[in-house]
Structure 1
Amino acid sequence: MTEYGYWQDVPTRWKDNDHYGHVNNAVHYSVMDTVINTWLIGQAGLDLDGDGPIGLCVESHCVYKASLSFPETISVGLRVGHLGTSSVKYEIGLYNHDRSTLVAEGHFVHVFVDRLTRKPTPIAEPMRGELAKLVNA
C-alpha cells in the first residue's frame, strides 16, 4: 500500500449505491473532495468565511480498481504529489475499511486564487507548511 500522511474514514450512504448495486463513480469524486477540504479546514487553516485565498479545482482524475457498496466504510489516504507556488496536486487512495483493497486512486489539482479577483496567489503560511508535511508522505 502506498504511504499517505493523512487518513480519514468516510461511511457510504444508502443513496450512494446505483442501480447496479455498487457505489456510483460520482461518489468517489465527492469523497476525495470532502477529504481534501476536511483536511484543509482542520489542519491547514482554510477559513471558508474569511477573506483569504481559496482553492479552485482545475483538474481531477480517478481510476477505479474495485467496487464498494452500502454499508461499507471507505478509508481514504491523502498526500501531496506536487506543491507549487500557487497550486497543489493532491494524490488520493480510496480503500476498503481495513485498507486491504485499493478501490480507486486519483488526484485533484487546486490553484489557490484571490477570493475576489480569482487571480492565482501564492500559498502562504501556515497552509504551505502543512501541505509540505504531506509531500511524498
Structure 2
Amino acid sequence: MTRARGAYPWHTALPTRWADNDQYGHLNNATYFSLFDTALTLWQIETGFLGETVDSPRFLVVENGCRFFQELRFPDLIHAGLRCGRIGTSSFTLELALFRGTSEEAAATGFFAQVQVDAQSHRPSPLDAPRRALLEAIG
C-alpha cells in the first residue's frame, strides 16, 4: 500500500483529542482504527453509499489491518485519505492513509475489506451498479 498523499483521491480532516494519547504520549493503536473507520464512514455517508432503509444492503467488515510508520499525537490534525484497492462481486477493499497535517507521506496506512450482505438473509449479495461506480471513482 502506498504512502503517497496523491494516491488517495478522497480526503477528510480529522482532529485528534487529548484522550487519544496513551501513556507514551502518542495516539493509542486503537485510535488509528477509529480514525480509519470514521473516514470510511464519512465517505460512505457523503456519497450515499450507505442505504437509508431497513431493506438496504449492509456492509460487514471481514478483515482489516494497519501499518505504522510515524507516531501521531494530540494536537495533530490528521488528514485521512481513502481509495478503493479491490472490487469483487460482493466484496471490496478500501485502503486508507493517515497524514499529519500537510505531510505528503502517510504516518500510517490501513485497509478494511467489506462484504455486502442482504439485510434480511445476511447472505452476500452482488454490488449494484451505482455502488460499484462509487468504488471505481476512488479506485
Provide the TM-score with structure 2 as the length reference.
0.91
Letter of the aligned partner of 2:23 in structure 1? H
Q: Which residue identity is paired with 2:20?
A: D
Q: Distance in 2 between matches of 1:44 and 1:6?
A: 15
Match of 1:18 in 2: 22
Query: Quick one: which amino acid aligns to residue 99 of structure 2?
Result: Y
Counterpart secondary structure, 1:71: coil
Percent of residue pairs identical: 38
The aligned amino acid for 1:95 is: F
Residue type of the alignment partner of 2:136: A
- 1:72 aligned to 2:76? yes
Is structure 2 residue 116 aligned with structure 1 residue 112? yes
Superposed counterparts of 1:78-117, under 5 Å: 78-117=82-121
Q: Map of 1:115-130 to 2, 5 A cutoff?
A: 115-130=119-134
Report how far residue 48 of structure 1 moved: 4.7
Gaps of 5+ in 2: none
2:10 to 2, 6, 9: 6
Q: Is the 8 A contact 2:54 2:119 kept in 1?
A: no
Task: Pick one of 61, 75, 86 that aligns with 1:57.
Answer: 61
* Alignment partner of 1:132 is 2:131: no
Counterpart amino acid of 1:88? F
Letter in 2 for 1:21: G
- 1: CA distance between counterparts of 2:49 and 2:57? 11
Runs of 4+ deviating beyond 3 Å: none
